[in-house]
Amino acid sequence: MMINLNFPQSIKIADLGCAWGQNTFLTMSEIRVKRKGSCFVSGVPGSFYSRLFPRNSLHFAHSSYSLHWLSKVPQGLEKNTSSVYITTSSLPSAYEAYLNQFQRDFGTFLRMRSEEMVCNGRMVLTFIGRSTLDDPLYRDCCHFWTLISESMCDLVFEGIMSASKVESLNMPFYDPSKEEVKEVIQNEGSFEINDLEIHGFDLGQSSGNNEEGGAGEKEAKCIRAVSESMLVAHFGDDIIDALFNKFAYHASQHAGCACETTVTLVVSLNRENNNFIRNCPCNLVRSTSLYVASLHHHSIHLSDENIYDEIKHLRCFFNQKLKP
């Protein structure tokens, strides 16, 4: 990677969706331990579905368990009332709505990073996905959103939660298949896939009866950690303890289940260097790219390296001319 990056003096790395607390430092401390030397760290507020860093500045971008969160709940889920997410009983339109939103969001994420990353920069993304099955609506019985939906149903039955509040809730989440991820990357076109792997996903189901509590409790804690703030915003905080007690119970009923549809997807990407002209920041270089386009029009074809040299020469030329 260092050879491909021309041995830069400093390497700029971003961890997108780093959370707060202990997890925030996991990736960066790992990198720091391996590479001694001075290091400047900063936190950048904002959504990774928007621009966060200067153009052509990042050498390596990483994101762990964050990209399955969509920028918003997709439109068109009014009829998806029996569950907070896609289940076997959802309409195909629910799947289409979720897939469309994922395609839009992940495509935007790639486009934003393509502007921020240097040519040949690398990106490693880890997120929740599903193993490919013929039925895109199928989620196994121990899927965490299915268990949340069942827990909510119990609380509605007991008169603790309002049915209409439960029916109107849908998670801004999508677990894409490997093929769906590949398609968005290829359609967006800025990154080349080095590797795309599927790994197991375990929220503690396989070690339910350990010192952390009874079967299901570990899973309840994990799901509570990632969803509590969203659920409180929708229902208020009075029902949260009761909801996750129910969740732990339902999860315990599936303690022996091997989770089949939920997987971890890990994709390693390389920033291709074929569209830097699109990203050139200043008008001067944009007009230079018009000049290059005109060379192309006259069948004078240049490789990307030649175009880059051409732009550098023209920049020097204009800079000299424009000096007061």
Ligand X SMILES: C[S@@+](CC[C@H](N)C(=O)[O-])C[C@H]1O[C@@H](n2cnc3c(N)ncnc32)[C@H](O)[C@@H]1O
Residues that bind ligand X (CB under 6 A): 17-19, 23, 47-49, 64-66, 69, 71, 226
Tell me the β-bridge partners of 69: 173
Please identify, using beta-carbon distances, which residue of 23 and 162 lies nearer to ligand X: 23
Q: CB nearer to ligand X: give 37 or 45.
A: 45
Residue of this chain nearest to ligand X (CB atom): 17
Residue written as token pair 């029902």 = 239
* Helical residues (DSSP H) of the chain, grouped into ranges: 26-34, 92-116, 144-157, 163-167, 178-188, 217-235, 240-252, 276-279, 283-297, 304-322
19 vs 156, beta carbon nearer ligand X: 19
C-beta of 64: minimal distance to ligand X in Å?
3
Strand arrangement, sheet containing 13-15: 13-15, 58-64, 117-130, 262-271, 191-199
14 touches 52 (CB < 8 A): yes
Nearer to ligand X, 68 or 271 (CB): 68
Shortest spacing between CB 72 and ligand X, in angstroms: 10
Taking residue 89's Cβ as centre, other Cβ atoms within 10 Å add up to 10
Dist. CA 311–CA 285, nearest whole Å: 7
Q: Least distance in Å: CB of 181 to ligand X? A: 17
Q: How far is the CB of 47 from ligand X (least distance, A)?
A: 4
Alpha-carbon gap, residue 283 to 280, rounded angstroms: 8
Is the CB of 192 or the CB of 228 nearer to ligand X?
228
Please report how close the Cβ of residue 14 comes to ligand X at its closest, in angstroms.
Answer: 11
Q: How far is the CB of 39 from ligand X (least distance, A)?
A: 19
Residue placing its CB nearer to ligand X in the complex, 42 or 283? 42
**Contact predicate 60/123, CB 8 Å:** yes
